[in-house]
Amino acid sequence: MARIRWAPAHDTRWLRDAGLLDTARVWGAAVPYANRASRWFDPTAETAMHRCEGRLRTLHPHAMARYDRLRTDGLTPNEAMRQSAPLFKRPPNVRDGTWSPRSSLSAGDGHGHSWVAAEHGPTRAEWEAHATADAQTQRAREILQEAQDQARTRRRGKLGETEQRLKLETVTNLPAEIINAAVPRDRPARPGNRRSSKPWAQDFPIPIDQVLALVAGPGSADAPARVPGQKPAHPQTPRRTSHP
């Protein structure tokens, strides 16, 4: 019965058309009787095993290359095939990737090295630092906007630059450069456009109420006794003239 199972390996026509599973099945039937040290050794089984291995090399050279290396290292056919079995699931024809020869570099004269000055792109750490700074600045501006809305609701007026800085330094632990980028600077007023809240204090050397009193006349009840800086006026008495 054992000889019937490995007998197909002796048929050249069958072996030429046999598939991977059929060839492996016949190989497995012949291996136990192909060991010369066994009392059940059969020369026809050894021949059938070698013929099946040749067919397997044609069907799957990648896995059988592993099998042949293991056999060269001294492993038995069963152990070598057991370690090579997972490779039969991979493509049978494995090759290295394509390559093309490249010309060698020639010696230069030290000129024309424009590629050395090419700027490299930002690294991952630089990108992360930039993204973190943008996020912190945006968050600081949101906090300032909320503070401005609260001040407007309470009718306290718009927060100035100093108040905004104090707000961020109090409620956050942001670095100084982020606070500088988030807080808008107050625009200084131009000297030509500066208006005084009391323009009459600059237009007249004396208070306006005294000016109005002077305009009203000396006989007016609102007229002051005297204007600061002005000598009091004395009434002039007409001189008496003697007639001859």
Per-residue pLDDT at 238: 52
pLDDT band at 75, cuts 50/70/90? Answer: very high
Per-residue pLDDT at 113: 56
**Is the confidence at residue 194, as pLDDT, over 80?**
no
Per-residue pLDDT at 192: 52
**Is the confidence at residue 15, as pLDDT, over 60?**
yes
Top pLDDT among 34 and 212 is at 34
Per-residue pLDDT at 55: 94
Structure tokens given for 7: 């007998």
Per-residue pLDDT at 146: 87
To the nearest 10 degrees (0 to 180), the angle between helices 20-30 and 43-59 is 150
Closest listed residue to residue 34, CA positions, set 82, 83, 71, 77:
77
**Is the confidence at residue 22, as pLDDT, over 60?**
yes
Mean pLDDT, residues 17-41 = 92
Distances 82 to 63, 73, 86, 88, 95 between C-alpha atoms, Å: 11, 15, 8, 11, 23
Cα-Cα-Cα-Cα dihedral sign, residues 222, 225, 229, 234:
positive
Top pLDDT among 182 and 244 is at 182
Mean pLDDT, residues 144-170 = 83
**Is the confidence at residue 187, as pLDDT, over 60?**
yes
Q: Does residue 74 come out as left (phi exceeding 0), alpha (psi in the -120 to 50 range) or beta?
A: left
**Is the confidence at residue 29, as pLDDT, over 90?**
yes
Report d(CA 157, CA 144) in Å as an integer.
Answer: 14
Report d(CA 8, CA 18) in Å as an integer.
Answer: 10
**Is the confidence at residue 24, as pLDDT, over 90?**
yes
Report d(CA 83, CA 89) in Å as an integer.
Answer: 13
Mean pLDDT, residues 27-39 = 91
Report d(CA 64, CA 68) in Å as an integer.
Answer: 6
Top pLDDT among 83 and 241 is at 83
Top pLDDT among 131 and 71 is at 71
Mean pLDDT, residues 214-242 = 53
CA atoms within 13 A on the CB side of 23: 22
Per-residue pLDDT at 203: 54
98-136: per-residue pLDDT in tens?
Answer: 667 777 777 766 665 555 445 555 666 766 777 788 888
DSSP one-letter code for 52: H
Distances 178 to 61, 130, 145, 169, 188 between C-alpha atoms, Å: 65, 12, 16, 11, 23
Per-residue pLDDT at 170: 84
Distances 77 to 31, 45, 70, 90 between C-alpha atoms, Å: 7, 13, 9, 21
Per-residue pLDDT at 218: 54
